[in-house]
């Protein structure tokens, strides 16, 4: 594994990107975003490993795996788990690999319940509100860590 291998973990319903509320989340699919990330990562001298699950435990396991395999960083769009998961908060705190929280939309301009981020309490930083570009901006940040 290269010294700049970056995990990109995606939570619930992100497999529906391109179909789910395109006015909020855009028309690009998760596969489209993955292709953009792969291309940009190559230019930055990084590699990315993109994964998605609708199950909280998978995200916890993958955070642990990223640490155990020496990942340079993790980009995490935890979807709705951002606002509900103490398990993800604990998993981020249990690893030393920096985690960057990513959101397509800006949670602070949406429903009140989205204003609380458990993930953000342990993340190195948060990038939100720029659509698919949020992922690219987070990758740029991760590459410079």
| Nearest-10 Cα torsion for 45, 4, 62, 117 | -90
25 is catalytic: yes
User: Residue 145 and residue 141: Cα distance in Å, rounded?
Assistant: 7
Contact 143, 110 (CB under 8 A): no
103 is catalytic: yes
- 73's enclosing H/E stretch is strand 73-77
Give bridge partners of residue 7 from the DSSP assignment: 49, 74
Catalytic entry in 7, 72, 103, 135: 103
DSSP single-letter state for residue 123: S
Give the three-class secondary structure for 136: helix
Question: Residue 37: which of 125, 136, 144, 141 has the closest Cα?
Answer: 136
Catalytic entry in 7, 25, 72, 135: 25
Active-site residue set? 25, 103
């Amino acid at each position: 594994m290269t010294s700049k291998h970056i995990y990109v973990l995606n939570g619930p319903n992100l497999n529906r990107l391109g179909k789910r509320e395109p006015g909020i989340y855009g028309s690009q699919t998760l596969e489209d975003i993955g292709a953009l990330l792969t291309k940009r990562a190559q230019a930055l001298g990084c590699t990315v490993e993109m994964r998605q699950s609708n199950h909280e435990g998978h995200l916890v396991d993958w955070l642990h795996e990223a640490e155990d395999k020496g990942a340079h960083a993790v980009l995490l769009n935890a979807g709705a788990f951002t606002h509900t998961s103490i398990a993800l908060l604990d998993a981020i705190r249990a690893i030393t690999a920096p985690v960057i929280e990513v959101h397509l939309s800006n949670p602070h301009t949406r429903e009140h319940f989205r204003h609380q981020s458990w993930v953000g309490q342990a993340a190195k930083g948060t990038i939100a509100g720029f659509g698919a570009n949020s992922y690219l901006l987070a990758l740029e940040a991760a590459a410079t860590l």
